[in-house]
Amino acid sequence: MASKSYSMVQNYPTGTTGTGLDQTVERIGRDPGLAGANLGTNITGGMTAANGLNQLILEAKQATGVASNGIFTVSDVTAINAWIRANRLAEFTALHGDDDGTTETGFHLVQNDGATQQYRNQNLVDTVFDGIYHIGFLIQNGTFLNEDGNANATVAQVADWLTQFYTDRATTNTGLDRITELIIADQGLAQNIPWQQIAGGADAANGLNDLLKTAITTYNLAADGSISESDIAQINTWIRSDATRYNTFVVLHGDDDGTTETGFHLVQNDGAQTTYFAKNLVNTVVDGIYHIGFQIQNGRFLNEDGAANATVKDVADWVTYFYVDQSTTGTGLDKIVDTIKIDTGLAKWTNAGDINAGAAAADGLNHLLVDGITATGIAADGWITSDDIRTLNQWVRTNHYEEFVLLHGDDEGNEETGYHLVQNDGATTQYFGKNLVNTVADGIYHIGFNIQDNRLLNEDGDANARLNDVASWLNYFYLQKTIIYGNDSSDTITGTNLAEHLMGYGGNDVLSGGGGDDLIDGDWGSDTLSGGVGNDLLYGGADNDQLDGGEGSDTYYVSGNLAGGWSSFQGYDTITDTGTTGTDTIVAKGTGSVDIGLKSFGVNSGIET
């Protein structure tokens, strides 16, 4: 396996067509699978290309005069295709892009790169958006060909998708919009009722979401990080206290008496399949939320027929899940909490209240991390190293251990607490090829437990995440650095002119930082490390390594000792700094004695201190 690079998106592009097509840009930007598997620059590049393709579609629509009502037919799409091919083919081809060999361009910067959002049992980015974005290629037998001449989406499919996305039906700009999106994306509804009925139900849901948003913002109910049962009661009173407002609610909620369905009931009990919180999302969860304006009796909402429906507690948990932003550190660590709240695997069978509480625990642990990093100053040099993790661990254990243990929680017996309310509960999002919730975040959140053999132990005293892995994850999330991972074979990794964290892992690796102030960690194996230009930090790791910081003021870190055995002593290295600028330093770091193993050392080593 080749090396793989990861970084966070720094600035998200936005769609500029002023139509619902702008949703494609936004949905690419919040796809958790893409976020965890790519460079941020590739994601933003794909988003920008999608916006350019949307602009072409809009321009072609306006030029041809088709779909004036927002409904696209096969003949409309054929006309758009002909216009693009006659007037904008070169621009279209560049924006669509390709992925031949090792180079990706245009929309292909994100297509087939790990996206996980689903739309009617198809991958939203890789199949649906990609199908739409074949709109300028040749049509053969009613099917678009792709950039390689192979059959892709049918013209009829593209017409349907354009109809479904051209008008944005989720417009509250809150997490409640996910409800509307999930209604439209439900495969069961698509199989059982026509688009016009789905669209009507989605519009009603959007109206009800807007009513909820207005109540929540009017009373600032989410300021404490949750929507409580008393908050739900207050929203209910607010809706019912005004005749016009209540009538609006009743119309939007709708009914299904006899043969007529109205409002949200256009989609409720019409075949929806999506499962959230071990319940049917549309028929039970969303329907329960949307009883918000009916009477409350004995802790339950009554429905339109006066029968008992969802409990006030469940509705409070569900609204908190969708509406409340629980990430509050203002750092990249918030991405972990945000992902907990949108992980569909976690949401499928886990109680919403448990997810909310697990997300709150993660946010609390993130605050501990931020406070510890700030208090210890470990990131002052621009990096968090494995030695810094030891310092951070000691700070947590000395100052906030009881709080840490409570937030981390446990899952002994049949009871889960703290972060364990979401850990190992079905999450599927991957970051760095590992499960984000169960492995990466959980590994970070062992920061206050004991350290043994360069690993954090877990709550049961078992070995968990390695210190250099945790350091790299914090460099990614907290410092928002680019991380380049090798594997356990002999890798050759070359960085760019940016500041990057290179991780060799096992094998005899050749790691070159290039430009920028890099952190280079050879880890296991007899590695060759070259810093290049910049003020670099070099860790040879275990075994006998060759290190050359190159230009700039470079630091060679050594830790461990012979008495500690294989998991401690880092071998006999050859350090020769060939740079002619800066001051180069060997630094021994450790809580006890440190043995610096060198094969040789002399005046020509290039080390000043």
Write the pLDDT tens digit of every residue in 273-287. 999 999 999 999 999
Amino acid at 115: A
Pair type for strands 139-140 and 122-123: unpaired
CA 229, chain centre distance (Å): 30
**pLDDT reported for residue 601:** 80
pLDDT-derived band at 568, boundaries 50, 70, 90: confident
- Tens digits of residue pLDDT in 332-359: 999 999 999 999 999 999 999 999 999 9
pLDDT of 509 higher than 70: yes
Average pLDDT of the chain is 97
Share of the chain above pLDDT 70, in %: 100
Pair type for strands 510-512 and 492-494: parallel
**pLDDT reported for residue 570:** 86
Specify the higher pLDDT residue, 1 or 157. Answer: 157
pLDDT-derived band at 101, boundaries 50, 70, 90: confident
**pLDDT reported for residue 471:** 98
Give 297's strand partners: 300
Alpha carbons 411 and 477: distance in angstroms, whole number: 26
180 neighbors 195 (Cβ within 8 angstroms): no
**pLDDT reported for residue 277:** 99
| CA-closest candidate to residue 361, choices 416, 316, 313 | 416
Q: Is the pTM of this model over 0.95?
A: yes
Helix (H/G/I), strand (E/B), else coil: 380: coil
Specify the higher pLDDT residue, 212 or 605. Answer: 212
Q: State the Rg of the chain over Cα.
A: 28
Kindly state the helix (H) or strand (E) to which residue 163 belongs, with its residue range: helix 155-166
**pLDDT reported for residue 106:** 99
Task: Average the pLDDT over 190-218 and give the result.
Answer: 99
Alpha carbons 383 and 519: distance in angstroms, whole number: 7
CB count within 10 Å of CB 498 equals 16
pLDDT-derived band at 592, boundaries 50, 70, 90: confident
Task: Average the pLDDT over 468-480 and give the result.
Answer: 99
- Tens digits of residue pLDDT in 450-467: 999 999 999 999 999 999
Q: What tokens appear for 595 in the block? A: 């043995």
pLDDT of 590 higher than 80: no
The secondary structure of 281-296, three-state, reads HHHHHHHHHCCCCCCE
Specify the higher pLDDT residue, 42 or 566. Answer: 42
pLDDT of 243 higher than 90: yes
**pLDDT reported for residue 121:** 98
Residue with tokens 């069978």, as numbered in its chain = 349
The secondary structure of 429-478, three-state, reads CEECCEEHHHHHHHHHCCCCCCEECCEEECCCCCEEEEHHHHHHHHHHHC
Amino acid at 103: T
**pLDDT reported for residue 433:** 98
492 neighbors 474 (Cβ within 8 angstroms): no
Phi/psi-derived region of residue 420, left when phi > 0, alpha when psi is between -120 and 50, beta in every other case:
alpha
Alpha carbons 373 and 394: distance in angstroms, whole number: 11
pLDDT of 566 higher than 80: no
Task: Average the pLDDT over 474-488 and give the result.
Answer: 97
**pLDDT reported for residue 400:** 99
Share of the chain above pLDDT 90, in %: 91
4 neighbors 30 (Cβ within 8 angstroms): no
**pLDDT reported for residue 190:** 99
**pLDDT reported for residue 561:** 86
Give one DSSP letter per residue of 299-367, joined into a string: TEEE-TTS-EEEEHHHHHHHHHHHH-----SSSTTHHHHHHHHH-HHHHHHS-HHHHHHHHHHHHHHHH
Cα first-last separation, the chain:
38
pLDDT of 1 higher than 70: no
**pLDDT reported for residue 595:** 87
Task: Average the pLDDT over 371-378 and give the result.
Answer: 98
**pLDDT reported for residue 413:** 81
Alpha carbons 155 and 139: distance in angstroms, whole number: 8
**pLDDT reported for residue 564:** 80
